[in-house]
Structure 1
Amino acid sequence: MSLSPLLPSPTGLLSWMLLSTVLLGACWLFYRVLLRQERCFQFNSRFLLYTPWLVLALPPLLGLAGPWLASLLLTWQTLVPGTSGLLSGGVLPAVTISATGAPGPASLDMHWLLLVYGAGVLALMSGKAWQLLLLWQTARSWPTEARQGYTLAYTGGQRPVSSFGHRIFWDETLGLSADEAAQILRHEEAHIKLGHSRERLMLELARTLLWFNPFVHFYPAALELTHELLADEAALGHSEGTGAAESYTTLLARVALRQLHLELPLTHSFTQSFTLTRIRMLTSQSPVRRWKQWLLLPLSTALVLLVACEKATDPASVITKSDASLSEPPLPPPPAQEAEDTPPPPPPPVYFFVEHMPEYVGGQEKLLADIGKQVKYPASALAEKLEGRVFIRFIVAADGSLQAAQLQKGIDYEVKYPGADGQQQTTRITTPAAQAMNEAALNAVRNLPGQWKPGTQNGQPVAVFFTVPITFSLK
């Protein structure tokens, strides 16, 4: 199995960025609308922790599953009538032709995108490492006391009560009673036992890798609030009496009002973490509506299908097997008739996807650049200020030659007119300027100067369909 779906490339990185933004946006909307007000704190914390990682992992994993996905789509195409045009073999990235005839942004070198993404990851990673270093250096200067399961560090009022890892930072200047101190300690112990610091670091790592995604930056605050509610719930579990919740929320409000500190990165702070929201959730008597959690199943199915369809039709990440019985007949020139009584041999099968797709000598960027150089914006289209997109389909034969280039979908216009029976009729026409654009795109593909390395199936060279979109733009 090839690992190419996991390797970064400029076009693949851009596709992954857009796809991950859509996926995580759907997940955040699901949480914001359905889960945020519910008291299913453990479910919410898992949802917030794992969905960014799933968004990171799902596209490359489904890219590795490309053979199965494409085979499934090809089988569906064969069994369902009227779907033969949905798969057109390898679909190349669009080539944009500007009014000057130069290739547009779609065919430009995009390696700068890799550099920008890597610089963003490095900057955020360095920032988090610096925060951890400062926290470690500061904690070393305070006296500590080893206790069962954690270490208590006395801050002398320099830091509010908070925790990180297996260390609780304790402000002994608060003047709390023994019962109040025990309640707050139980809250911080819950953070340690539940591994909340580890979860926050995991989320920060996912946030670093997805730094370009605007939705991922909403997740840390939501997870921090959920952690505080889980710790509140654990602390109240040790309390007795009907007024335990009211007593605890009163303590929370009083301590929070007494101490006002700047934001403390990475640590869990008892005194300043969403106090009003925590009080409202702790005193709420509304039942947990579990049915909302089950809505995650159709959402997950829809997102997986979205990524699967995108991966199964992405030429940069799909390496698939297809059976000869699923392929379409090629469009070769008619063979010469050797004898009147000898029937012509059957044409070889043409595949949509194969184990090793054909490769243009010089790579995909070279191919798109060559197409862009060949296409000239027709003068008649410029005069009429016409724009549009043309789809050219061709075959890379078993010997590496380009054959049967044809117009799959050209630029035309829909015209409505009254019919003889008085009903409105619709037809599509192609003007001379639009026809010139279609022919310019078709001739550019037919006259490509480069050579192809043929695709192989079961170790044998085979013919494979390709489709390239060519966009004419005046901008």
Structure 2
Amino acid sequence: MNNIINYFVEANICLVILGTFYFLCLQKDNHHRFIRFFLIGSGFLSVTLPLINLGSFMTEQSTNGSGVIKSIQSTFILPELTIFGSAGKRSLLYILNSYNWLHILATLYLLVSVVLITIFFFQICQILWLSKTKKAFKQDHFTFILTDGQLPTFSFFKLLFYDNSIKLSDDEKQKVIDHELVHIRQKHSWDIVFYELIKTMFWVNPIVWVFKLRLKYTHEYLADEHIIQKTSKEYYSHLLAKITLNQMSLGLAHHFNKSFTLNRIKMMNTPVSKFKTWKWITLIPIVTILFISISCNDDSASEATEAMSTAHQREVPKELQSELARLQQEYPEANFTYMETDADNEESMIKFKNLDPESIGYIKKYEDRGMIGVIVNQNGQLKKIAKATNLPDDEVFSIVEEPAMPEGGYENLYEKISQIIKYPLQARKKGIAGKVFVQFIINENGLLSDTKVVKGIGAGCDHEAMRALNAASLEITWKPALERGVKVKQKLILPITFALDDNDNNQSSINIDEVSNSGESQIKLDIKHDGLTVYGTVMNKEGKPLAGTNIIIEGTNQGSVSSIDGSFKIKLNTPKDKLIFSFMGFQTTSYSLEKC
């Protein structure tokens, strides 16, 4: 999906830049042939230039020099889950965040595109159907079709529809036919179809609509320009006014009768402005800059490939293994390879010097062997590779091509959490409400780990949110994230909102049986330790395991959760660390090695 987004953004940037040039320099220009060339060229460049960069996007995910597959950690925020304080209001509220909006907007965008492409094909079918149902005559280079007043005069490719119900002289009829023949000979219909297809892809960009409309106007101006070469402007203007009628809309066709008849008459009587060469010369650096800026990544990659053609790829020497590991950690998306080339080989050295310095991670010269070893990134410049794990918390996190997904979808995960989570009594008594952001990682095996609160509200809500997520994940299998077909780690953030209404601030309205921490039930522990590693089982007073018990090292965000059989294992940082065991409906219990 990232490839599609990149293409979409780059294509629209091209359209905007070329559109800006049009509005500044060409909007009032009446050199219609050059305007047509510019409009078609702008559409073609906008669609094709971004494709040049797709080669680097398609680079196959491969193992690096040490045989370790790259692990990419991306982070995005999940839909929000809201927990209400009152038992009667225990429902889920899904608040769509940037991730959901992205997919919803993409779906809506595609729906509009489907509608536009459907209309496009419907219009084509409509014209073809009309050509079969009306009286037609085959000519040398086109088909002449009489509409008997049911349709206006227009042309589409080699089909010329003529409204024979209008009373015109033979000379006037010929002028109308000659006008449409200009459209057919100059293949104007291809231009319209081309821009209709562009419109279905980039309909959100107003430049596309402006260019398409101006192109149709330009076609009419070109046809008029051809006619008035052999006919007086006054005579032809009178003819245009005479046959201007109400007509059905056939968006793909070239109508002789257009709503801008007055503009056409005005354009015919406007002297052709002096051709200003500087306008078109200005296009050269604009197109060049667009080409270079979009394709520069591929240039770097091709330079590396060319250099490798004269070098020898080898396994990374032992003395460079640590350097390669450092580079892989610093640039997780880079595709590093190690090469050696003869320092005395002039051809090899020339190609090595042409390498982009920003793509080289490390160089070592072996004086004893007369060789030069290079660790180079085949994907291009290292400085352009963003390390997702280094993104600050307040930035928008990257999204992998296929994000991690719980079994049954997020609705199933949220349903599990809603069944487990309890609104802490302490928070309800104090009237504390707000949003807790729980961060966690789904690794390549689909296992949840590294759960921690990155922003919380306290009063037991932070620990309860972590406990509920960990407990729910024990009952759900996760499908790991995919990036370029490879299973990768993904960092996610789950916002859980604890919400109170006015009645929740009144202690008498609290369902004590539901959220009580008063201590009638106690957690029973069967604990052993091996050095700083503590392990054992968490149970209730009847000896039944308590799955999902939250276990935290006091004063830290480090912790764990008991499994389905109540077992757990956690390593302390120091012998003085204290473990806090909490489970809703049970009295919080602590444990430390010093008590043993």
TM-score band, normalised by shorter chain? 0.5 to 0.7
Q: Is the 8 A contact 1:161 1:170 kept in 2?
A: yes
Amino acid at match of 2:448: L
2-side partners of 1:376 and 1:214: how far apart?
Answer: 51
2-side partners of 1:458 and 1:129: how far apart?
Answer: 35
Report what 1:275 is aligned to.
Answer: 261
Q: Deviations over 1:128-163 (max 9, x none)?
A: 555444434444455444333212334455544321
Q: 1:402 aligns with which of 421, 439, 448?
A: 448
Amino acid at match of 2:493: V
Report what 1:94 is aligned to.
Answer: 78
Q: 1:279 to 1:113 in 2, by over 3 A?
A: same
Report what 2:407 is aligned to.
Answer: 362
Report what 2:159 is aligned to.
Answer: 167
Report what 1:264 is aligned to.
Answer: 249
Report what 1:464 is aligned to.
Answer: 489
Q: Deviations over 1:277-313 (max 9, x none)?
A: 34455524153522564545656777899xxxxxxxx
Which structure 2 residues correspond to residues 324-335 of structure 1 after superposition, within 5 A? 325-327=327-329
Q: 1:45 to 1:440 in 2, by over 3 A?
A: farther
Q: 1:41 aligns with which of 35, 45, 50?
A: 35
Q: Deviations over 1:336-362 (max 9, x none)?
A: xxxxxxxxxxxxxx9979x99885452
Cα shift at 1:369: 4.2
Q: Is the 8 A contact 1:358 1:454 kept in 2?
A: yes
**Secondary structure at the counterpart of residue 272 of structure 1:** coil
The 10-residue stretch of structure 1 (437-446 or 263-272) with the greater mean CA deviation from structure 2: 437-446
Amino acid at match of 2:258: Q
2-side partners of 1:32 and 1:385: how far apart?
Answer: 55
Which structure 2 residues correspond to residues 52-63 of structure 1 after superposition, within 5 A? none
Q: 1:363 to 1:111 in 2, by over 3 A?
A: farther
* Identical aligned residues as a percent: 20
**Secondary structure at the counterpart of residue 290 of structure 1:** helix
Q: Deviations over 1:367-399 (max 9, x none)?
A: 874797578888579956756x84736362x65
**Secondary structure at the counterpart of residue 37 of structure 2:** helix
If the length of structure 2 is used for normalisation, what is the TM-score?
0.47
Report what 1:319 is aligned to.
Answer: none
Cα shift at 1:126: 5.2
Amino acid at match of 2:273: Q
2-side partners of 1:458 and 1:121: how far apart?
Answer: 26
Amino acid at match of 2:441: F
Q: Does residue 1:196 correspond to 2:192, yes or no?
A: no
1-side partners of 2:209 and 2:233: how far apart?
Answer: 31
Q: 1:150 aligns with which of 131, 142, 162?
A: 142
Q: Is the 8 A contact 2:53 2:294 kept in 1?
A: no
1-side partners of 2:215 and 2:429: how far apart?
Answer: 55
Amino acid at match of 1:97: L
Amino acid at match of 1:262: Q
Cα shift at 1:186: 4.1
Cα shift at 1:102: 3.6
1-side partners of 2:484 and 2:101: how far apart?
Answer: 34
2-side partners of 1:393 and 1:359: how far apart?
Answer: 12
Amino acid at match of 1:204: E
Q: Is the 8 A contact 1:97 1:377 kept in 2?
A: no
2-side partners of 1:93 and 1:208: how far apart?
Answer: 31
Structure 2 residue runs of 5 or longer lacking an equivalent are: 63-70, 85-91, 297-323, 333-386, 390-397, 501-596
If the length of structure 1 is used for normalisation, what is the TM-score?
0.56
Q: Deviations over 1:21-74 (max 9, x none)?
A: 9769847963773454344322343157547856xx969x97885465999xxx
Q: Does residue 1:251 correspond to 2:236, yes or no?
A: yes
Q: Is the 8 A contact 1:92 1:466 kept in 2?
A: yes
Amino acid at match of 1:285: S
Which structure 2 residues correspond to residues 196-215 of structure 1 after superposition, within 5 A? 196-208=188-200
Q: 1:290 aligns with which of 280, 286, 289?
A: 280
Q: Is the 8 A contact 1:455 1:464 kept in 2?
A: yes
1-side partners of 2:185 and 2:429: how far apart?
Answer: 70
Q: 1:235 to 1:363 in 2, by over 3 A?
A: farther
Which structure 2 residues correspond to residues 420-459 of structure 1 after superposition, within 5 A? 433=457, 448-449=473-474, 450-452=476-478
Amino acid at match of 1:403: S
Cα shift at 1:268: 0.5
CA RMSD of aligned residues (A): 5.7
Cα shift at 1:251: 1.2
Report what 2:179 is aligned to.
Answer: 187
Cα shift at 1:166: 0.3
Q: Is the 8 A contact 2:440 2:448 kept in 1?
A: no
Q: Is the 8 A contact 1:24 1:216 kept in 2?
A: no
**Secondary structure at the counterpart of residue 271 of structure 1:** coil
Report what 1:231 is aligned to.
Answer: 223
2-side partners of 1:454 and 1:150: how far apart?
Answer: 59
2-side partners of 1:217 and 1:390: how far apart?
Answer: 43
Q: 1:68 to 1:369 in 2, by over 3 A?
A: farther
1-side partners of 2:207 and 2:485: how far apart?
Answer: 45
The 10-residue stretch of structure 1 (433-442 or 247-256) with the greater mean CA deviation from structure 2: 433-442
Q: 1:258 to 1:128 in 2, by over 3 A?
A: same
1-side partners of 2:148 and 2:61: how far apart?
Answer: 64
Q: How many residues align?
A: 377
**Secondary structure at the counterpart of residue 327 of structure 1:** helix
Q: Is the 8 A contact 1:395 1:405 kept in 2?
A: no
Q: Is the 8 A contact 1:153 1:167 kept in 2?
A: yes
Q: 2:439 aligns with which of 385, 389, 392?
A: 392
Work out which structure has the larger RCO, using CA pairs closer than 8 Å and 6 or more positions apart in sequence. Answer: 1
Report what 1:429 is aligned to.
Answer: none
More strand by share: 2
2-side partners of 1:222 and 1:134: how far apart?
Answer: 24
2-side partners of 1:132 and 1:405: how far apart?
Answer: 57
Q: Is the 8 A contact 1:97 1:471 kept in 2?
A: yes
